[in-house]
C-alpha cells in the first residue's frame, strides 16, 4: 500500500488508481525559453522518485510531461511579454530554435541526474487544435466569454474555485497582482486564448482570429488528449498550487462535469542561501554550473534525496560538498561489500528491506531510506548487502551498480581517501576541468597511487 500526500485534501491517502494496476500521471513540464535551474531540477527529481516508487510498488505508469514551447506571458496572471518571444528576440533566433535548444539541454540534465523520461512528452505547439477544441467546449458550456483581446474563463461560473489552495478569491487576486482589464467580468478570470497583434511572434488560426493559447489550457488539453476525462496523479512545484493548478481544475472540471484529478502532489521549493533563487541575485545555478565547480550531478541528486520532497531545501555549496563526500563514501563502502565473499542472514536482509519499503510507502520518505541504506552498509561486509543495496537503488537512482574501483588483488586495499580523490577527479574530468583534474592526480600521486584512464573508466594502482 502506497500512501501519498494529496494537496487537495491535505492528507496522506492510500493510492488507489482508477485502473487497478496502472497509474496515469501528469507532470507540469519545463518552459523551454531558458536553462532549467537546480530548483526546477529538484521538482523533476521528485517526479522521478515518485515514478520509481510506483514501479517498485508494482504499478505500471503512463506518465505525461508537457514541454511548454509556446512560451507564456511574463506572469502567471497573463500579463507582460511572452517569455519565448523575448528570448527569441534577444538571441535573434526563431522560437522553434530557442525551444529545441533548451529542450535538448533539459533532457541532457535529466539524464545526468538519472531522471527517467515520462512515457509521453508532448509539445504544446503540436496540440494547438486540442486547445482550441477545449476552449470551444468551455464557451459552449457557458464557462468562457470573449473580449476584444481574447477568450476568458468565467470564474463566477465555477463555484468551487480556490479549493486546492484554500485561498479565497480576494487573497488569490492580491497574491497574483492581477491587473484589472476593463472587459473582464472578474479580475481573476484568466485567458484561455489570446488574440494576437500582427507582430506577435507565435500565432495560429482559430475561430476567434489569429492568436495563441493561454498557459493553463496547455496542460488541461494535453492531459485530456492522453488520458481522457480523468487521471490519477498530477505533479508540479508548490508555486503552481494557487494559480496554474487552480485554473487547471476549474477548466477541466467545468468541461468534464466531474473531478478530473484524483491526487495532487507538489514538490516544495529549493532556496539558495536561505532565500529565493532569482536571476537578479545571480544565484540561479544550472547542473552545468555545479559540474564546472567540480560536483558530479549525482551528488546534487543525493543532496536532494536528503530532504523530504514536502520540505523546503536550502541549497548551499557547503551542503553540496557534504553530499558529494557522503555519496563518494557510500560508493567506497558499497564496493567493500561487493568485493566480499561472505554472506548475510536472510532475516537480517529482510528486516532492512521491510524498513525500506515502509519508508518508501509512507509518502516517499527518502531521507529515511538513505538512513536505512547507511545502517545496512555498516553490517559486516557481504555481497548480499551489496545486492540488497542495488534493489534500493532502483528507487534512489544513484548508479550504485556502476560502483567499481580497480583494486589489484595482490595489493593492499586502497585507502578510502585515495578512492574519494579519484572520484572527485572523475567528476572534474566529466566537467572538463582539466587543471583541477591534474591537481587531483598530483594529490593522489602524493599518497602513493597512480590513476590510469581507460575506456571503461579509471583504475588506481599503487606506485612502486
Q: Which is nearer to ligand AMP, 124 or 330 (CB)?
A: 124
Q: Which is nearer to ligand AMP, 88 or 277 (CB)?
A: 277
Spell out the residues 6+ positions from residue 367 whose beta carbon is closer than 8 angstroms to its own.
Answer: 305, 306, 307, 308
For ligand AMP, the binding residue among 6, 7, 43, 407 (CB under 6 A) is 43
Beta-carbon count within 10 A of 358 CB: 13
Smallest gap from Cβ 236 to ligand AMP, in A, equals 4
Separation of alpha carbons 270 and 188, rounded Å = 28
- Interface with ligand AMP, residue 30, by CB under 6 A: yes
Q: Could you tell me how many residues of this chain bind ligand AMP (CB under 6 A)?
A: 15
Separation of alpha carbons 270 and 39, rounded Å = 5
Smallest gap from Cβ 416 to ligand AMP, in A, equals 34
- Considering CB distances under 5 to 8 angstroms, the limit depending on partner class, which of Zn ion, ligand AMP, none binds residue 30? ligand AMP
Spell out the residues 6+ positions from residue 139 whose beta carbon is closer than 8 angstroms to its own.
Answer: 145, 146, 151
Pairing label, strands 191-195, 150-153: antiparallel
For ligand AMP, the binding residue among 2, 28, 128, 421 (CB under 6 A) is 28
| Residue spans of alpha helices (H) in 81-181 | 83-91, 95-112, 128-140, 169-176
Smallest gap from Cβ 410 to ligand AMP, in A, equals 50
| In the block, residue with C-alpha cell 537578479 | 280
| C-beta of residue 82 within 8 angstroms of C-beta of residue 73 | yes
- Interface with Zn ion, residue 28, by CB under 5 A: yes
Smallest gap from Cβ 306 to ligand AMP, in A, equals 15
- Interface with Zn ion, residue 131, by CB under 5 A: no
Q: Which is nearer to Zn ion, 31 or 291 (CB)?
A: 31
β-pair partners for 270 = 313
Separation of alpha carbons 25 and 380, rounded Å = 41
Residue 258: helix, strand or coil by DSSP?
coil
- Interface with ligand AMP, residue 242, by CB under 6 A: no
- Interface with ligand AMP, residue 270, by CB under 6 A: yes
- Considering CB distances under 5 to 8 angstroms, the limit depending on partner class, which of ligand AMP, Zn ion, none binds residue 31? ligand AMP
Q: Which is nearer to ligand AMP, 223 or 460 (CB)?
A: 223
- Rg, the chain, Cα only: 25
For ligand AMP, the binding residue among 71, 162, 214, 236 (CB under 6 A) is 236
Q: Which is nearer to Zn ion, 45 or 223 (CB)?
A: 223
* Binding positions for Zn ion, 173-212, rule CB under 5 A: none
Smallest gap from Cβ 240 to ligand AMP, in A, equals 5
- Interface with ligand AMP, residue 269, by CB under 6 A: yes
For ligand AMP, the binding residue among 6, 24, 40, 125 (CB under 6 A) is 40
Helix axes 297-305, 38-56, angle to 10 degrees: 70
- Interface with ligand AMP, residue 162, by CB under 6 A: no
Q: Give the cell for residue 449.
A: 597511487
Q: H-helix or E-strand containing 287? A: helix 287-292
Separation of alpha carbons 199 and 80, rounded Å = 15
Smallest gap from Cβ 261 to Zn ion, in A, equals 11
Q: From 27-35, 97-105, 276-284, 423-431, give the range in contact with Zn ion by CB under 5 A.
A: 27-35
Separation of alpha carbons 416 and 333, rounded Å = 9
- Considering CB distances under 5 to 8 angstroms, the limit depending on partner class, which of Zn ion, ligand AMP, none binds residue 101? none
- Closest C-alpha to 242, from 293, 198, 178, 197: 178
Q: Name the site residues for Zn ion (rule: CB under 5 A).
A: 28, 219
Q: Name the site residues for ligand AMP (rule: CB under 6 A).
A: 28, 30-31, 39-40, 42-43, 236-237, 239-240, 267, 269-270, 277
Amino acid at each position: 500500500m502506497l500512501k501519498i500526500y494529496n494537496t487537495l485534501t491535505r492528507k496522506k491517502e492510500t493510492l488507489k488508481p482508477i485502473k487497478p494496476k496502472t497509474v496515469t500521471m501528469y507532470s507540469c513540464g519545463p518552459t523551454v525559453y531558458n536553462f532549467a535551474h537546480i530548483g526546477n531540477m529538484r521538482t523533476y527529481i521528485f517526479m522521478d522518485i515518485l515514478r520509481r516508487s510506483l514501479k517498485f510498488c508494482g504499478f505500471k505508469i503512463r506518465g505525461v510531461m508537457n514541454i511548454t514551447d509556446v512560451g507564456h506571458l511574463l506572469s502567471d496572471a497573463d500579463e507582460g511579454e511572452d517569455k519565448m518571444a523575448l528570448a527569441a528576440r534577444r538571441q535573434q533566433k526563431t522560437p522553434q530554435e530557442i525551444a529545441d535548444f533548451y529542450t535538448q539541454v533539459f533532457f541532457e540534465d535529466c539524464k545526468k541526474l538519472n531522471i527517467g523520461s515520462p512515457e509521453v512528452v508532448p509539445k504544446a505547439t503540436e496540440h494547438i487544435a486540442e486547445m482550441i477544441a477545449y476552449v470551444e467546449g468551455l464557451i459552449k458550456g457557458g464557462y468562457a466569454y470573449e473580449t476584444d483581446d481574447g477568450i476568458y474563463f468565467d470564474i463566477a461560473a465555477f463555484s468551487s474555485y480556490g479549493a486546492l489552495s484554500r485561498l479565497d478569491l480576494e487573497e488569490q487576486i492580491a497574491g497574483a497582482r492581477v491587473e484589472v482589464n476593463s472587459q473582464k467580468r472578474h479580475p481573476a478570470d484568466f485567458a484561455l486564448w489570446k488574440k494576437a497583434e500582427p507582430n506577435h511572434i507565435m500565432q495560429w488560426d482559430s475561430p476567434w482570429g489569429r492568436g495563441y493559447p493561454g498557459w493553463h489550457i496547455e496542460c488541461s488539453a494535453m492531459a485530456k488528449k492522453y488520458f481522457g476525462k480523468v487521471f490519477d496523479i498530477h505533479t508540479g512545484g508548490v508555486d503552481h498550487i494557487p494559480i496554474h493548478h487552480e485554473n487547471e481544475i476549474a477548466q477541466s472540471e467545468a468541461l468534464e462535469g466531474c473531478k478530473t484529478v484524483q491526487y495532487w502532489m507538489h514538490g516544495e521549493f529549493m532556496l539558495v542561501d536561505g532565500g529565493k533563487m532569482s536571476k537578479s541575485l545571480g544565484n540561479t545555478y544550472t547542473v552545468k554550473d555545479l559540474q564546472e565547480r567540480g560536483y558530479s550531478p549525482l551528488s546534487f541528486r543525493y543532496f536532494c534525496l536528503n530532504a523530504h520532497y514536502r520540505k523546503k531545501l536550502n541549497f548551499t555549496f557547503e551542503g553540496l560538498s557534504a553530499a558529494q563526500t557522503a555519496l563518494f563514501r557510500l560508493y567506497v563502502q558499497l564496493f567493500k561489500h561487493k568485493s566480499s565473499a561472505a554472506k548475510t542472514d536472510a532475516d537480517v536482509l529482510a528486516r532492512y528491506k521491510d524498513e525500506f519499503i515502509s519508508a518508501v510507502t509512507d509518502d516517499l520518505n527518502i531521507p529515511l531510506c538513505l538512513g536505512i541504506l547507511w545502517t545496512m552498509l555498516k553490517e559486516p561486509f557481504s555481497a548480499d548487502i551489496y545486492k540488497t543495496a542495488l534493489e534500493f537503488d532502483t528507487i534512489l537512482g544513484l548508479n550504485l551498480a556502476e560502483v567499481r574501483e580497480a583494486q589489484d588483488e595482490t595489493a593492499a586495499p586502497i585507502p578510502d581517501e585515495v578512492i574519494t580523490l579519484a572520484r572527485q577527479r572523475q567528476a572534474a574530468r566529466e566537467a572538463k576541468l582539466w587543471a583541477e583534474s591534474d591537481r587531483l592526480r598530483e594529490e593522489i600521486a602524493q599518497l602513493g597511487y597512480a590513476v590510469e584512464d581507460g575506456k571503461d573508466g579509471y583504475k588506481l594502482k599503487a606506485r612502486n
